[in-house]
Amino acid sequence: MMNRTKCLEALARRLTDDEIVVATYSTASEWVEMSDRALNYYSFGAMGLASSHGLGLALGRPERRVLVLDGDGSLLMNLGTLVTIGAAQPKNLVHFVWCNGSYEANGGHPLPNQQVDFCAMAKAGGIRNVRRIEKLEDFEAQLPAILTEEGPVFVEMVIEQGPLGPRQYDDMYKPARRQRMREALGA
């Protein structure tokens, strides 16, 4: 089992300036403090839609790689997106799902079935490039390939429960932050 913060730090070190990152809920609150950049899109208050937002950005901007930082509870709210991604086959989409068996952002309530096999669901939805990673050293070793191989790529990340304390989501929706992303996408 991995620590999400350490995984995000490894990802931040490998990120290029032209990649779009779509982050939701708990991951978004860590990502905004760790890697605040113009091409970050935060999806808070839209549980289950990070993958749909990422798919839209991937289809609309095929010249840019789009990384979705999703949660297991969030993905459960919109499993149909896996079939849509499988049908669209965006070559520039990488979908990370941080699996800790809980709705962490909503108080850590356990998922109704903690034995969900997200990789099997992604494969059944038509996503061929699927991985499950449980150790940080494996993630760091596989990350260069994950970030360069043809998508769609689906990565189930087995992590420990993160902090359940209050999070500051207001900053993510500042008009200046949204304007900065619009300008970066237009460049």
Q: Cβ of 171: how many Cβ atoms within 10 Å?
A: 12
> CA distances (Å), 138 to each of 115, 129, 135, 170, 181, in order?
22, 16, 5, 34, 32
Tokens standing for residue 68: 């979705």
pLDDT tens across 18-73, in order?
Answer: 999 998 877 777 888 878 888 988 876 667 789 999 999 999 999 999 999 998 88
Range of weakest confidence among 81-85, 128-132, 146-150, 163-167: 163-167
pLDDT at 136: 97
pLDDT tens across 169-185, in order?
Answer: 666 667 887 888 888 88
Query: Is-contact 21 41, C-beta < 8 A?
Result: yes
The pLDDT mean for the chain works out to: 87
4-12+21-186 CATH, one of 1.10.10.10, 3.40.50.970, 3.40.630.10, 1.10.287.1080: 3.40.50.970
Query: Is-contact 145 87, C-beta < 8 A?
Result: no
Residue whose entry in the numeric block shows the structure tokens 């290029």: 16
- pTM beyond 0.75: the answer is yes
pLDDT at 186: 85
Beta carbons within 8 Å of 160's beta carbon, 6+ residues apart = 1, 2, 3, 4, 100
Residue 110 has pLDDT above 80, yes or no: no
In this structure, are strands 66-71 and 93-99 parallel, antiparallel, or unpaired? parallel
Tokens standing for residue 169: 């989501």
Residue whose entry in the numeric block shows the structure tokens 């699927």: 130
Average of pLDDT values for 109-128?
A: 86
> CA distances (Å), 26 to each of 16, 98, 115, 187, in order?
22, 10, 21, 29
Number of H helices, E strands in the chain: 8, 8
Query: Is-contact 29 168, C-beta < 8 A?
Result: yes
Q: At 79, which helix (H) or strand (E)?
A: none
> CA distances (Å), 147 to each of 2, 4, 29, 139, 182, in order?
19, 18, 22, 11, 23
